[in-house]
Amino acid sequence: MFGSSPADAFEQKAQKLRRAVERARMQFSQKTRPPSTNRTSDVLTGSYFDYLPVELIINICCQTDWRDVTRLRLVSRAFKELVDANESIIATRWMVPGSYLALLSQLFYPPKSKTGDGVRRPTIQYFYGLEKRHITCSQLAYYLCDKAVAPISSDGTEKVDEAILIWLTFRYYVLHFLTYSRLRLEANKAAIAAENSDEPLTPGDLNSAYLSIQSNIITTFDNQTLISTHHALHFLVNSIRLSMSPEPPHKQNDELVAIILRCQMPLNRCVEFFAADCQGAPRSLRKQFMQDMEGERMDAENRFGGGAPLRRSSSGHSREASRRKWSPKVTEVWFEAAKIALTERGLQEHKPDGVYFFPECSQELLIGCPGCKLK
């Protein structure tokens, strides 16, 4: 009655210690849970992750491949919430300065945050999109290397020139230009159509708008980027021309080349073309490519071609005596706008990016343009 025994005192201390440990465990568990407004119940990962600080977990994710983090989201709801709450931080740390992802992120901006603050934040889905663009560009680069450099030399070793690999960096700028020029033209067309619903656009009107849009994009390129991208597109177009028409005239299929450059996914179509053109490619692959291109032709004609009614002049007569089939030209994509930019900057004469051997022609050809001068 007048005091507790040593055993009772020890039991009280043990209970206090257990309560303190439980409180500490709950605090660590709360720290490891990401904030979520949609949480319906408290869920733990059921692993030692529950006891790690969030900063350490993020650091671990940043040291892994993005595919591993994507798989981690599929393990449980707790892991999914953990990754989703911190994906912008994780995706940002994946973009190492100087890497291809950092360059692509400068050309293709992250989406705006869903919180409504207007800030652009990278996500895992955005990172996945950059990776797909890189894979497409890399595949195209390898196909073009095969066209430009003899794959096997006389001594049986691979012949690869480092200069062409440096030049292929500008494949990203080619994709950037083709993507944004198409998107802006579609937006411009919709805006003009809404303002002038009584006067449908003609192909000539769209070509003028297209030239202006392309010129605005080119103004963001510095001189060296402009020249190398100009050479890259020359090389790409000439390689397709040569594959389609090995015998002169090499420009007889230019309409198809123009449609490839103006379709929804131009570089993907280029990769599919070279894959179907390879020796030993199955006939079904070539047939599928031609079917896809026929669909692209119809889609492009509806969006940019002569599918719309012709405008009427003030006298009531059509601008043209009869409707003509839409015939896109290769020069309408990049080359006309680039020629104007090169003239304005005084860059008509410049050095080529290299001289390479083309097995199909059995001769050396410049990777450049008509304005290149060997100095």
- What DSSP assignment string belongs to 126-139? HHHHHHHHHHHHHH
pLDDT of residue 65: 79
The two tokens of residue 5 are 């025994």
Residue 111 is classified by DSSP as P
Residues 254, 329 contacting (CB under 8 angstroms): yes
Omega of the bond prior to 249 within 30 degrees of 0, cis?
Answer: yes
Nearest CA-CA partner of 127 in 142, 108, 141: 108
pLDDT in tens, the chain (375 residues): 455 577 777 778 777 777 777 777 776 666 555 544 443 334 566 677 777 888 888 888 888 877 888 888 888 888 888 888 888 888 888 888 888 888 899 999 998 887 777 788 888 889 889 989 988 988 888 888 777 654 444 444 444 444 455 555 678 999 999 999 999 998 888 777 777 666 666 777 788 889 999 999 999 999 989 998 998 899 899 889 989 988 888 899 999 999 999 998 999 999 999 999 988 889 899 899 999 999 988 888 887 764 444 343 444 444 443 345 678 899 999 999 999 999 999 998 888 876 655 555 555 556 778 878 754
- Predicted pLDDT of residue 189: 81
Cα–Cα distances in angstroms (integers) from residue 372 to residues 152, 343, 348, 352, 375, in the given order: 29, 13, 8, 5, 9
Q: Which of 110, 81, 121, 231 is nearest to 166 (CA)?
A: 231
Contact 83, 124 (CB under 8 A): yes
Contact status, residue 237 vs residue 147, Cβ threshold 8 Å = no
CB atoms within 10 A of CB 95: 19
Cα–Cα dist 92/212, whole Å? 34
DSSP-assigned beta bridge partners for residue 120: 112
Beta bridge partners of 365: 356
246 vs 249: CA distance, rounded Å? 8
How far apart are alpha carbons 74 and 198 in whole angstroms? 52
> Phi first, then psi: what are they for 154, rounded to 5°?
-65, -30
User: Which one-letter amino acid corresponds to residue 268?
Assistant: N
Q: Render 5-66 in DSSP notation, one character per residue.
A: -HHHHHHHHHHHHHHHHHHHHHHHHHHHSPP-TT--S----SSGGGGS-HHHHHHHHHTS-H
User: Nearest 10 degrees: CA dihedral of 306, 309, 315, 319?
Assistant: 0
| Length, in residues, of the chain | 375
Opening angle at CA 128, ends 126 and 131, nearest 5: 115
pTM: 0.74
Distance CA 240, CA 237 (A): 5
The domain spans of the chain are 135-304+326-367
Which pLDDT score, from 0 to 100, does residue 81 have?
86
